[in-house]
Amino acid sequence: MSHHIKGQSRTQATLFPEALDDFVTDENPVRVIDAFVDSVDLASLGFEKVKTKATGRPCYHPGMMLKLYIYGYLNRIQSSRRLEKETHRNVELMWLLERLTPDFKTIADFRKDNSTGIKNTCRQFVQ
């Protein structure tokens, strides 16, 4: 007879779906990233596309992309392809990005197009 701890069946439906917020503790560093980015004025720091045009395809908000960038930096994930992969499987990133999953080209373009804003954000974070 086996006395091992058993996990929950992967096919078992739950009566009350768990909220993504339940998986991220109050002390988790992603909450600091979220609060910091939400508190800064992205336009004054030099980020592009803070104000969007009325027409055309919508883009990801630069604040959301900055959250992804900072998360990658703090967790030593530099590759845009690896960051894209993490958005699909990492619960912290699912919470931080509200389940958005930008592709690697979008992530790389954000870094390239917003280098001034990223540098200014790092400066402000240190202060």
What letter does residue 18 receive in the DSSP assignment?
P
Which secondary structure element, helix H or strand E, spans residue 61, and what is its range? none
For the chain, give every domain's residue range.
Answer: 26-50+58-122
- pLDDT of 2 reads 62
The Cα–Cα gap between 83 and 80 comes to 5
- pLDDT of 17 reads 62
- pLDDT of 52 reads 72
Please, what are the averages of pLDDT over each run of 10 residues along the chain (127 residues)? Answer: 70 73 92 95 87 78 94 95 96 94 95 93 82
